[in-house]
Amino acid sequence: MSRFHGDGVRYRAKLIGLDPVPDSQGEKMCWDSMMKLKGLEAVARRQGKHKQKIWLKISSSGLKIVEERTGVICLLSLHLCIPGRSSSS
């Protein structure tokens, strides 16, 4: 996984929203959060608003969401959660 070292990998995307969740696991929790954000995005679209264009940068040091137009960091996560792995391994 050497491609995630250094600057890592970046993906162009559109941000539909951010939703803090109480737990980092659970398919139902993820589904509920996504449906909530999609509903908010549909309302915004009817009002003529556009989704925010971003770069999702993934590296061994964490995740970054960077606004495409300005380069401003919207979200910085310094750790990754990998299901099925303990922190001691």
- The model's pTM: 0.66
The CA-atom distances, in angstroms, between 89 and each of 51, 78, 82, 84, 85 are 39, 18, 11, 11, 7
Q: Dump pLDDT digits (tens) for 40-53.
A: 999 999 999 999 99
Q: Are 38 and 55 in contact (CB under 8 A)?
A: no
Q: Which residues of the chain have pLDDT under 50?
A: 80, 86-89
